[in-house]
């Protein structure tokens, strides 16, 4: 059969524009009966009859707030004109293990089906970032989308992952391999949850604030640097300011970057994350996400310095701010299998995985200064090895003769 390649094609061009709107609320003691925030959020959809909802709760919270589920049920009864809880709250294990267990996804979808939820119903995700990611994925795929209200309970979730548009789970040994872009119906940040965090989880979320400050707002980094002692002693007012500004910068980027669903190859908000995602996997998730991000920030900042992009004094200031907050900036997994670039346990394999996750060409964000970013598409692995060696040498004190290195 001979095909006439000159034959004209017929074409229908279709363009669909969708506007997403959601609010991020800041409150305290969300499930106290005198706090109407949650009820007001759901009343805001304009419908008059009570709205069906289910809740999925991070088990880690219940260690510190064992009455939370009872408070939630009592709250829905008090606001019964608005809220109709359709099933007992589901309690699941939190942390990265939640995103590594595919059976949990099916259990949440089964809960949605058994409760008879529809696309005008609600699912509350109450927990840390991993639980929010998992529940968000379930909500986005059941009926092709059920209204999700995120109630983040950690610093990292309140200032970063909980306020964004991404959901997902881990698969095939890769971070967030399965997922969706699906904005929540609303996000409610309750500062009372932060009082029960251990020091690691309190600290971990600050890494994301440092990340966004380094690429977008030098004055915000100055604030974090000068208020490090207050953050270390867990001053809540200071932390609330950090969370608010960090969330604000993330939301501004999502709304105004021109690529909210990451259709291109650039993802500046993932500064430091190519290494962080790989380190989480290499350490069997011994590292919290924020702890891995802190190392990734230190690594990419050091590489920026070695590339001649970042001034020595600014590089040192970044590392010492991270260290003063309590972050360790080196783990042995950084240096394993470095001579075998394609080995699954080599950190540099994370560069390939990062590119594959985004698509297109490799695009990394580096620093030209605090608050000033630059994108590069090629890397010098020798300099990255030197950066790893510098982090290994780093001991919390200023490098001696750093300018001569």
> What is the three-state SS of 198-229?
CHHHHHHHHHHHHHHHHHHCHHHHHHHHHCHH
How far is residue 92's CA from residue 107's CA, in Å, rounded to a whole number? 10
Q: Do residues 179 and 210 both lie within one domain?
A: no
Q: Give the number of other Cβ atoms within 10 Å of residue 44's Cβ.
A: 11
The helix or strand, by DSSP H or E, that contains position 27, with its residue range, turns out to be strand 23-27
At residue 395, the pLDDT reads: 57
Confidence of residue 405 (pLDDT cuts 50, 70, 90): very low
Q: Which of 158, 177, 196 finishes a domain?
A: 196
pTM here is 0.89
CA–CA distance, 44 with 33 (Å, rounded to integer): 18
Phi-psi region of 326 (alpha: psi -120 to 50; beta: other; left: phi over 0): left
- For residue 350, pLDDT beyond 70: yes
Q: What average pLDDT score do residues 365-385 get?
A: 96
Q: Is residue 17 part of a domain?
A: no
Instruction: State the pLDDT at residue 200.
Output: 95
In a domain, 144, yes or no: yes
CB atoms closer than 10 angstroms to residue 321: 22
Same domain, yes or no: 107 and 62? yes
Q: Are residues 182 and 232 in the same domain?
A: no
pLDDT (average), residues 263-281: 84
When divided into structural domains, the chain yields a total of: 2
In the DSSP assignment, the letter for residue 20 is: -
1 falls within a domain: no
**13 domain-assigned:** no
Confidence of residue 1 (pLDDT cuts 50, 70, 90): low
Q: What is the CATH number of the domain that holds 177?
A: 3.40.50.1970
What's the whole-number mean pLDDT along residues 90-101?
A: 92
Query: What's the angle, vertex CA 90, arms to CA 89 and CA 94, rounded to 5?
Result: 125
Percentage of the chain exceeding pLDDT 90: 77
pLDDT digits (tens, 9 = 90+) for 55-85: 999 999 999 999 999 999 999 999 999 999 9
Q: Domain check: are 188 and 213 in the same one?
A: no
More confidently predicted of 65 and 405: 65
Residue 372 lies in a domain: yes
**Confidence check: pLDDT of 128 > 90:** yes
Is 107 a member of any domain?
A: yes
Same-domain status, 109 and 206? no
Mean pLDDT for the chain overall:
91
Residue 392 makes CB contacts below 8 A (sequence gap 6+) with 330, 334, 335
CATH number at residue 229: 1.20.1090.10
Q: What domain range is 314 assigned to?
A: 199-399
Over 70: is that where the pLDDT of 4 sits? Answer: no
Same domain, 144 and 231: no
Helix (H) or strand (E) holding 26, with range, is strand 23-27
Whether the per-residue pLDDT at 333 is higher than 80: the answer is yes
Of 177, 196, 215, the one marking the end of a domain is 196
Q: Are residues 108 and 218 in the same domain?
A: no
Confidence of residue 263 (pLDDT cuts 50, 70, 90): low
* Residue 233 sits in the same domain as residue 379: yes
Domain boundary, last residue among 196, 219, 234: 196
* 138, containing H or E segment: helix 129-141
Asked if residue 395 and residue 291 are part of one domain, the reply reads yes
- pLDDT of res. 401: 41
Residues 139, 239, single domain; the answer is no
Could you tell me the pLDDT band of residue 357, with boundaries at 50, 70 and 90?
Answer: confident
Q: Which of 371, 346, 350 is nearest to 362 (CA)?
A: 350
The pLDDT of residue 189 is above 70: yes
Query: Does the pLDDT of residue 187 top 90, yes or no?
Result: yes
Concatenated DSSP letters of 314-371: HHHHHHHHHHHHT-----GGGGTTTT-TTSTT-TTHHHHHHHHHH-SS--EEEEEETT
pLDDT at 403: 39
Q: Is 8 among the domain residues?
A: no
- Do 270 and 176 lie in one domain? The reply is no
State the pLDDT at residue 257: 77
Q: Is the pLDDT at 329 greater than 50, yes or no?
A: yes
Whether 276 maps to a domain, the answer reads: yes
Residues 230 and 344 in one domain: yes
SS3 at position 21: coil
């Amino acid at each position: 059969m001979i095909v006439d390649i000159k034959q004209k094609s017929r074409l229908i061009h279709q363009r669909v524009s969708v506007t997403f709107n959601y609010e991020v609320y800041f409150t305290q003691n969300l499930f106290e009966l005198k706090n109407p925030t949650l009820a007001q959020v759901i009343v805001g959809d304009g419908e008059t009859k009570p709205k069906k909802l289910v809740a999925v709760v991070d088990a880690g919270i219940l260690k510190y707030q064992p009455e939370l589920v009872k408070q939630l049920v009592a709250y829905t009864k008090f606001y019964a004109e608005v809220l109709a809880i359709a099933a007992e709250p589901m309690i699941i294990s939190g942390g990265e293990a939640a995103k590594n267990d595919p059976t949990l996804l099916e259990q949440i979808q089964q809960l949605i089906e058994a409760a008879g939820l529809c696309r005008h119903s609600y699912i509350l995700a109450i927990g840390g970032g991993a639980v929010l990611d998992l529940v968000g994925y379930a909500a986005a795929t059941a009926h092709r989308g059920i209204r999700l209200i995120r109630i983040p309970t950690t610093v990292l979730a309140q200032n970063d992952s909980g306020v964004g548009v991404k959901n997902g789970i881990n698969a095939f040994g890769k971070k967030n391999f399965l997922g969706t872009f699906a904005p929540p119906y609303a996000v409610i940040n309750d500062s009372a949850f932060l009082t029960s965090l251990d020091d690691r989880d309190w600290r971990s979320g600050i890494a994301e604030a440092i990340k966004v400050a380094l690429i977008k707002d030098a004055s915000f980094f100055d604030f974090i640097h000068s208020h490090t002692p207050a953050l270390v002693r867990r001053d809540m007012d200071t932390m609330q300011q950090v969370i608010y500004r960090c969330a604000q910068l993330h939301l501004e980027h999502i709304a105004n970057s021109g690529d909210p669903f990451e259709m291109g190859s650039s993802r500046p908000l993932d500064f430091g994350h190519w290494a962080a995602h790989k380190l989480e996997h290499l350490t069997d998730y011994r590292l919290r996400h924020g702890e891995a991000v802190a190392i990734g920030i230190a690594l990419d900042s050091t590489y920026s310095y070695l590339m001649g992009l970042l001034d020595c004094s600014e590089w040192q200031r970044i590392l010492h701010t991270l260290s003063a907050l309590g972050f360790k900036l080196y783990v042995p997994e950084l240096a394993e299998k470095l001579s075998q670039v394609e080995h699954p346990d080599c950190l540099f394999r994370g560069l390939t995985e990062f590119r594959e996750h985004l698509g297109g060409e490799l695009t990394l964000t580096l620093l030209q200064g605090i608050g000033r970013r630059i994108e590069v598409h090629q890397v010098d692995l020798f300099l990255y090895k030197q950066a790893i060696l510098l982090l290994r040498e780093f001991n919390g004190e200023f490098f001696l003769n750093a300018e001569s290195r």
